[in-house]
Amino acid sequence: MEDLIELENVSIVREGKTILKDINFKMDSSENWAIIGRNGSGKSFLLRILSGNLFPSTGIVKIFGKQLGFVNIWDLRKEIGFVSDHLQREYDRETRVINVIYSGFFASNGLYQDVTDEMKEKVVDILEFLEIFHLRDRVFGHLSSGEQKKVLIARSLVFSPKLLIFDEPCNNLDLASKEDVLHSIQKLVQKGHNIVFVTHHIEEIIPQINNVLFLKEGKIIKSGDKVKMMNKKLLNNLLSYKFGVVKKNGWYYFKHF
Ligand X SMILES: Nc1ncnc2c1ncn2[C@@H]1O[C@H](COP(=O)(O)OP(=O)(O)OP(=O)(O)O)[C@@H](O)[C@H]1O
The footprint of ligand X (CB under 6 A) covers 14-15, 17, 19, 37, 39-45
Ramachandran category for residue 70: left, alpha or beta (phi over 0 → left; psi -120 to 50 → alpha): alpha
Distance CA(153)–CA(158), nearest Å, equals: 9
Q: Which of residues 18-47 bind Mg ion (CB under 5 A)?
A: 43-44
Contact predicate 94/139, CB 8 Å = yes
Q: Which of residues 95-134 bind Mg ion (CB under 5 A)?
A: none
CB of 127 to ligand X, least distance (A): 29
CB of 44 to Mg ion, least distance (A): 3
With CB under 5 to 8 Å by kind, the binding choice for 178 among Mg ion, ligand X, none is none
Q: Quick one: 45 or 91, whose CB is closer to Mg ion?
A: 45
Task: Name the residue type at position 12.
Answer: I
For position 53 contacting Mg ion by CB under 5 A, the verdict is no
Q: Quick one: 6 or 168, whose CB is closer to ligand X?
A: 168
Distance CA(106)–CA(46), nearest Å, equals: 24
With CB under 5 to 8 Å by kind, the binding choice for 26 among Mg ion, ligand X, none is none
What is the strand order of the sheet 58-63 is part of? Answer: 17-28, 3-14, 58-63, 66-67
Q: Quick one: 15 or 117, whose CB is closer to ligand X?
A: 15
With CB under 5 to 8 Å by kind, the binding choice for 41 among ligand X, Mg ion, none is ligand X
Strand partners, 247: 252
With CB under 5 to 8 Å by kind, the binding choice for 95 among Mg ion, ligand X, none is none
For the beta carbon of residue 17, count every other beta carbon within 10 angstroms. Answer: 8
With CB under 5 to 8 Å by kind, the binding choice for 249 among ligand X, Mg ion, none is none
Residue nearest to Mg ion (CB): 44
Of 107, 103, 108, 95, give the one whose Cα is nearest residue 137: 95
CB of 2 to ligand X, least distance (A): 27
With CB under 5 to 8 Å by kind, the binding choice for 19 among Mg ion, ligand X, none is ligand X
Ramachandran category for residue 40: left, alpha or beta (phi over 0 → left; psi -120 to 50 → alpha): left
Contact predicate 96/89, CB 8 Å = no
Q: Quick one: 62 or 219, whose CB is closer to ligand X?
A: 219
CB of 46 to ligand X, least distance (A): 7
* b/e 160-188 (16+ beta carbons within 10 angstroms → b): ebebbbbbbbbbebeeebbebbbebbeeb
CB of 240 to ligand X, least distance (A): 13
Binding site for Mg ion (CB under 5 A): 43-44
